[in-house]
Amino acid sequence: MKKRVALSLIAIGLLFIIAVESKKVDLYKVLGVDRSASQREIQKAFHKLSLQYHPDKNKNKGAQEKFAEINNAYDILSDEQKRKNYDLYGDEKGNPGFDTGGPGDQGGHTYFTSGGPGHSGFSFRPGDWQNMGEQGSSQSYSFSFGGPGSGKQSSFGFGLDDIFSNFFGGGMGGGSQFGSFGSSGRSQQGRSKGTAPSIPTVNSQLYKKEIVDKGMTWLLLFYTSNLRGIQYYESAVEEVATSLQGALKVGSINCESDASLCKELRVNLRRAPKIFVYSYATSESGSLVEYAGDLDVKSLKSFCQVNLPRFSKRVNLDSFNVASESSRLPKVLLLSTKKSTPVIWRVLSGLYHKRVIFYDAKVDEISDPSVRKLGVNSLPAIVGWLSNGEKEILKSGISVKDLKSAIKEISGLLDNFEKKNKKAASVKKDHHSEGDKSKSIPLLTSSNSFDLCGGKVPVCVIGVFKSSKTRDKLQSILQSVSQKSFSRRQSNSFGSRDSVSYALLDATKQQSFLKAFEKSGLKSSESLLLAYKPKRGTYATSQGDITEEAAESFISSVLNGDVQFVKTRQKPTLE
């Protein structure tokens, strides 16, 4: 019986050799790439073909053998040294022989090698065909099974069970499918045991330091070395990570070396690796979400995009009021024609979560009055507001070459805007720390206009400036004057000192507000004091150079009713 089995195995080996030798496969043609193809091109070709011919998806006759052939070609061409040897000798080991790429000759002897390092393989010399099986003969045929530490693996790259199962439909342990005939002994399910993926490794320390609640989406491959299919999963993960470069990061976690981390994360591996996304789609704190779809790039990429952060609030520009949410954080608004929040904005909203407040709005065209009101002249655009209410156009006419560079560019804008906000906040804090005498005079904006110059305020005194120098001068004057008591103050019709509010106005940015008042004197003056009565819609302006004494005199006259007020042209509005 054993002798018959041995003879059968030898016969099978001969049939395989004849079939391979007659085929003379070109590995580059197997993957459909040129000999000058880059590693990236080889990887893309492999992934496309492996998805097409994987036995789980393709049940056509020959698909299984084709898949094994593709794996073998990729194993050799993806390895720099093996590819070099193959290009030179037709053999990835550097032997001038024959190994699926083309025949070679050495001293009139033709060799066929198969199996990974440590596999004995087999060879034929002249006369071996006739002497096959004669023990002790110098020209005997050597046919061996098993590599180091293996009881069943053959130098072909498949086990005894595989041989009988696939050739005879059952037998010794039956059921397992054909393996790859690759030089590394890789099976059709992918990478052989003990081989880790090339994706960067994430350990327990890195996971807690770089991933947990950092605002960045991660695509994670969980595996153990005894699982088949690692290469297949790895290829899909790398392809998606490349297409979404800048939007997410990628890592692999070995549940053997980091068993405690996998246990903590409740990741249990049985038959195959698993893919998870560290997601911010459902809550502010991140969480692992398992991918359960088909292992193709399109589906996995779509899954990743769904799980990107969602910290930007979608708003209607017509009813948007930036002052509705009081915060010490700066605020930014993206204006675009997109029907939903763009991927770039979602990614940034995660990276700057709890540092910057994000909004986005869909607009149809640049001529939209609400867009013009914000001072934007091209789309897409980013408008920002500091915590003190100052508005700034961060970027307009944004051009996106690729995701990674766009995120980097806009991140630079947000970093600078965040620094401005901290500086503005520190100035305000310094003024408050000096006591009421140095209380900061706020800048009048759309977000604070109701409190400072709304209908319930009898009169607001506004220092209008055109440069930073005149702004600082008015700030100092109004800070000092606002703390002083004026004669007849308590007997006038305005009542307590809280009946007067003080503010500064940037004339270069708030032209629409100034249009409501008489223009004489506003164009030629670098600074101006304006007293405005919101309820009555009237105003008065100071005359001459503004000094602390002149400002005190003007405000005292306003409170005592000694200044003539005139009607505004229209109701003043702020941008």
* pLDDT tens for each residue of 319-360: 888 766 667 899 999 999 999 999 999 999 999 999 999 999
What does the pLDDT read at residue 205? Answer: 92
Which of 65 and 488 is assigned the larger pLDDT?
65
Report the largest interatomic distance among the alpha carbons of the chain, rounded to a whole angstrom: 129
**CB 356, CB 474: distance < 8 Å:** no
**CB 274, CB 290: distance < 8 Å:** yes
SS3 330: coil
Average pLDDT over every residue of 206-221: 93
Look at residues 296, 183, 192, 281 and name the one whose alpha carbon lies nearest to residue 243.
296
> In the block, which residue shows the tokens 């198969």?
114
- Percent helix, strand and coil across the chain, each to the nearest 5: 35, 15, 45
Average pLDDT over every residue of 189-194: 41
**CB 529, CB 541: distance < 8 Å:** yes
Question: Quick one: 449-567 is in which CATH superfamily?
Answer: Glutaredoxin (3.40.30.10)
Which of 455 and 207 is assigned the larger pLDDT?
207
**CB 194, CB 225: distance < 8 Å:** yes
* Residue pLDDT, tens place only, 140-161: 333 333 333 333 333 333 333 3
What does the pLDDT read at residue 91? Answer: 73
The residues with which 253 forms a beta bridge, in sequence order, are 222
SS3 541: strand
The domain made up of 2-168 has a fold known as Helix Hairpins (1.10.287)
Cα(148)–Cα(341) distance, integer angstroms: 56
- Considering the chain, what percentage of its residues have pLDDT values greater than 90? 26
Q: Which tokens in the block code for residue 390?
A: 């100052």
Query: What CATH number should be reported for the domain whose range is 204-306?
Result: 3.40.30.10
Which alpha helices (DSSP H) does 244-324 contain, by range?
A: 259-264, 297-306
C-alpha distances out from residue 106 to 21, 125, 489, Å: 16, 11, 113
Domains 2-168 and 319-431 share a fold: no
**CB 256, CB 193: distance < 8 Å:** no
SS3 519: coil
At residue 16, does pLDDT exceed 60?
no
What does the pLDDT read at residue 269? Answer: 92
Task: For 338, list phi and psi in degrees, rounded to 5.
Answer: -70, 140
Cα(88)–Cα(84) distance, integer angstroms: 6
* Residue pLDDT, tens place only, 299-309: 999 999 999 99
What does the pLDDT read at residue 416? Answer: 94
Query: Checking DSSP bridges between strand 313-314 and strand 357-362, what pairing results, if any?
Result: parallel
**CB 233, CB 200: distance < 8 Å:** no
* Residue pLDDT, tens place only, 227-275: 877 888 888 899 999 889 889 999 999 999 999 999 999 999 988 999 9
What does the pLDDT read at residue 63? Answer: 84
Residue boundaries of the structural domains of the chain:
2-168, 204-306, 319-431, 449-567
C-alpha distances out from residue 424 to 217, 232, 480, Å: 32, 53, 20
* Residue pLDDT, tens place only, 99-118: 444 433 433 333 334 334 33
Cα(279)–Cα(290) distance, integer angstroms: 10
* Residue pLDDT, tens place only, 443-456: 888 778 888 888 77
Q: What is the DSSP string of 448-495?
A: THHHHHSTT-SEEEEEEESSHHHHHHHHHHHHHHTTS--TTTTTSTT-
Cα(251)–Cα(108) distance, integer angstroms: 50
Query: Checking DSSP bridges between strand 217-223 and strand 248-254, what pairing results, if any?
Result: parallel
Cα(359)–Cα(324) distance, integer angstroms: 12
- What is the residue type of 121? G
In 224-262, DSSP assigns E strands to: 248-254
Which alpha helices (DSSP H) does 58-211 contain, by range?
A: 63-77, 80-89, 128-131, 160-168, 204-206
- What is the residue type of 56? D
SS3 567: strand
What does the pLDDT read at residue 483? Answer: 77
**CB 33, CB 42: distance < 8 Å:** yes
Q: Give the mean pLDDT of the chain.
A: 75
Cα(110)–Cα(361) distance, integer angstroms: 71
In 386-443, DSSP assigns E strands to: 391-396
CATH 3.40.30.10 fits 319-431, yes or no: yes
Look at residues 532, 502, 504 and name the one whose alpha carbon lies nearest to residue 517.
532
